[in-house]
Amino acid sequence: MIKIIAKILFGVAILWSIFFIFKLGNSFAMSPEFKKEIFNGCYIDAKSTLGNQRAKQYCNCTTEMLHRKFSDEDILIIGQKSQAEQMQAFSFAGTYCNKNANAPN
């Protein structure tokens, strides 16, 4: 009887862990609409200084990095902060993508 209860509890723990991992994994993802908006804003700003091809490359890279780290809600919260705080929050993506011209999307 104890072995059956232990197996049931173990199964519940596994299912709960899988649910938690998948839920947590999605909590840092931006919606497709946010990704598109961030890419478009980046591209409009970057193409005049980087040229079309490099701007697309750079903006794909930075958008993907922000997507992996922040949710829509995170972006909105950071967007309400000062420009210096925004730059600090997002600088990791720009720094990486500037140094790695062929960074993966």
- Sign of the dihedral defined by the CA atoms of residues 18, 24, 25, 31, in that order: positive
The answer to whether 91 and 84 have CB atoms below 8 angstroms apart is no
Cα dihedral 25/26/28/29 (nearest 10): 130
Average pLDDT, whole number, for the chain? 76
| Statement: residue 10 has pLDDT above 70 | no
Q: Residue 3: what pLDDT?
A: 58
pLDDT in tens, 23-42: 444 456 788 888 998 899 88
The answer to whether 105 and 59 have CB atoms below 8 angstroms apart is no
**Mean pLDDT over residues 65-71, rounded?**
90
